[in-house]
Chains A and B, each alone.
Chain A
Amino acid sequence: MQSFNHTLNCVGGLHARPAGVIVNAAKQFSSDILIRKLSAEGAKEADAKRLISLMSLGARKGETITFYINGPDEAAAAEKLLAVCRETVG
């Protein structure tokens, strides 16, 4: 199990395009990848390989999302997703 936090810095939060970038990256791995967002209404979770699910988190700029990665290629997946978050999603 690998896990890391990412605080969204992209202007509009986790919108269609940044979410799409995460989904495309996540799909390259066989590990289960879960994204969790804590909010005042409680925690919300999404499957990182599903666009609708991810967008329904409604994660905004300034909010922190946590990735939980579990499976045979979890280390590579964590590395890739971390890079994607930092370099492309913002």
Chain B
Amino acid sequence: MSSSAKHALYRGIGIGESAVYGKLRFLGSKKSTPAPQFRDRQTEERDFRDTLDRARAETEALRKRTLASAGAEAAAIFEIHEMLLSDPDFIDLVISGISKGLPAAVAVSEAGESLAAMFESIDDEYLSARAADMRDIASRVRAILLGESDYSESGDSSDIIVARDLTPAETAKLDPDRVAGFVTFAGSVNSHTAILARAMDIPALIRAEEFSSDLNGAPAILDARTSTLSVFPTPEEMSDFADELRRRDAEKSRLRTLASLPAVTKSGKKIALYANIGSLPEAEAAYKSGAEGIGLFRSEFLFIGREDLPSEEEQFRAYREAARLFADRPGPVVIRTLDIGADKVLPALHLGIEDNPALGSRGIRLCLAHPELFRAQLRAILRASAFGKTAIMLPMISTASEIAATRKLLSEEKNRLRFEEVAFDESIELGIMIETPAAAIMARELGRECDFFSVGTNDLFQYTLAADRQNQSLSYLYTEGGEAVMRLIRMAADGIHASGDGKWLGICGEMAADTALTEQLISLGADELSVSPPYIARVKERIREID
């Protein structure tokens, strides 16, 4: 390594959030096995069929292992592999190869390659990525036929695996405790490999610039965040990496300790600390951060960036996933109904252009104007409530009649579900966002109509100060205007608390994450704070310091 020990930087696409140090280890340079010889047709066929059984059993074992290490989503691909292993198109192709005089191992490779090429020819990124699955199962069957040893047993804790393209099975066999990360020259961000890598929390660099396998054994830093692989890192890089590692370890252990501690003030007041999320992967992050519930699940992610509207079924599945995930946490998953206005693109609704979208038909106003859209969402949320505590939250409420109109739709949909004998939580809570000054001022009246309030401080600020948050020249209003907003929050808190026992006030805007305000928000009467997952630990730390 002395003469070739030259520092080099390779770029690619980083998967994951971490950086690792390790020795490069090339896969695919397996020990060479003698070329298989054709025996007779019956023997080859029998070997092939026996091998299929073994391959299915191995796949089942991989599925279970992945289920335990990376969850159901990641494990599902192995069910597909099992089906591919049993697929008559694949089996027939191999048998026909054998009948032409090919040894089983060769026939398997050729069949796998020809089906993989078929997938690659389909003009669809996802389906062409299935070529890797086809090659994967073929190479596994071939390896069993040839009795090739399994590389996965020989890893040590600091290896960065390098391969042309890791198959999902190879990726799943990599034990995160022994393998630092991996680099592939091919692959795509949609490939199962990339998805599995994320789920298993292994940093990866895919579509990396090619380098020679002469670098086998070379030390390297793989940084998924900068999408680089530094081979023979410079002393400065090494010391930066060591600093980063120490910082991350300290932070990690501090956060781990905090995640399991309750959010209680010194005097024993319990604050519900929930997470704001806008997608399902964030739900996972929220769960890991120790959030006791979801205080704001923005449902817009299901609606934006597409030509049509999500079906009730599609929404149901997304909400159910979050509800199931948090079923063992004390708090609910609060799903905010579609909060969208003319400033967001929603082609399917043909929204007219408004001069002033911030003051236009948005949030609850838009939902009530499109009852079919709204009903589908309410039904999806109701159905999800059978799988874990769920709540409904309405955005942009300014009058009690908006809540009453929603209640009417909600009770009709509940009746329909009862009639259809579809399960839902009969005691599902209905809450509203406090975003308009009108809602805060009328808190007593609105409080009677619902179960909880959650203050959207960003919008409340902008509507109270009549100031656009994006406008830099108005920033003084945001520094000096806080007291006006705080008084409105107090009105909201007093209103909801006076409306009935067990009714609560949450804060889900940016203010909730500002630890300089935590004490004040609690003294105003906040029962719940909802912040994005990375802030959970910090806010919890602050709550625990407060008297």
Chain A interface residues toward B at CB < 8 A: 9-13, 15-17, 20, 23-24, 50-53, 55-56, 58, 60, 62, 86-87, 90
Contacts and interface: CB of A to CB of B under 8 A. Distances in A.
B355 interface: no
Contacts of B89: 50, 52-53
B118 A16 contact: no
A52 B314 contact: no
A50 B127 contact: no
A37 B90 CA distance: 22
29 contacts: A9-B308, A9-B311, A11-B314, A13-B124, A13-B126, A15-B126, A15-B127, A16-B80, A16-B130, A17-B80, A20-B80, A20-B83, A23-B83, A50-B88, A50-B89, A51-B83, A51-B87, A52-B89, A52-B90, A52-B115, A55-B119, A55-B130, A56-B122, A58-B122, A58-B123, A60-B124, A62-B308, A87-B313, A90-B314
Interface of B: 76-77, 79-80, 83-84, 87-90, 115, 118-119, 122-124, 126-127, 130, 133-134, 308, 311, 313-314
Contacts of A55: 119, 127, 130
A55 B76 CA distance: 16
Majority-rule SS of B interface residues: helix
A13 B76 CA distance: 17
A90 B134 CA distance: 25
A11 B190 CA distance: 14
A90 B124 contact: no
Contacts of A20: 79-80, 83
Contacts of A12: 126
Contacts of B84: 51-52
Contacts of A17: 76, 80
A62 to B, nearest CB: 8
Contacts of B311: 9, 90
A88 to B, nearest CB: 8
A56 B80 contact: no
Contacts of B134: 52
Contacts of B133: 16
A56 B314 contact: no
B87 A50 contact: yes
A16 B87 contact: no
Given A86-B313, A90-B311, A51 B80 contact: yes
A50 B89 CA distance: 7
Contacts of A11: 314
Contacts of A52: 84, 87, 89-90, 115, 118, 134
Given A17-B80, A51-B83, 17 more contacts: A9-B308, A10-B314, A12-B126, A13-B124, A15-B126, A16-B80, A16-B130, A20-B79, A50-B87, A50-B89, A51-B80, A52-B84, A53-B89, A55-B130, A56-B118, A58-B123, A87-B313
A68 B292 CA distance: 49
A86 B61 CA distance: 32
Contacts of B313: 86-87, 90
Nearest to B314: A90
Contacts of A51: 80, 83-84, 87
Contacts of B80: 16-17, 20, 51
Nearest to B90: A52
B94 to A, nearest CB: 13
Nearest to B118: A56
User: Lowest 8 A-B CB distances belong to which pairs?
Assistant: A58-B122, A52-B89, A16-B80, A51-B83, A52-B87, A12-B126, A51-B87, A58-B124
Contacts of A58: 122-124, 127
Given A9-B314, A86-B313, A16 B122 contact: no
A51 B134 CA distance: 12
Nearest to B316: A87
B119 A56 contact: yes
Contacts of A23: 83
A86 to B, nearest CB: 7
Contacts of A86: 313
B312 to A, nearest CB: 10
Nearest to A17: B76
A16 B314 contact: no
B91 to A, nearest CB: 10
Nearest to A60: B124
Contacts of A90: 311, 313-314
B138 to A, nearest CB: 12
Contacts of A9: 308, 311, 314
A50 B308 CA distance: 30
A3 B84 CA distance: 27
Contacts of A15: 126-127
Most buried by B among A55, A58, A86: A55
Contacts of A24: 83
A86 B317 CA distance: 13
B279 to A, nearest CB: 13
Contacts of B76: 17
A90 to B, nearest CB: 6
A9 B83 CA distance: 23
Contacts of B130: 16, 55
A3 to B, nearest CB: 23
A86 B511 CA distance: 43
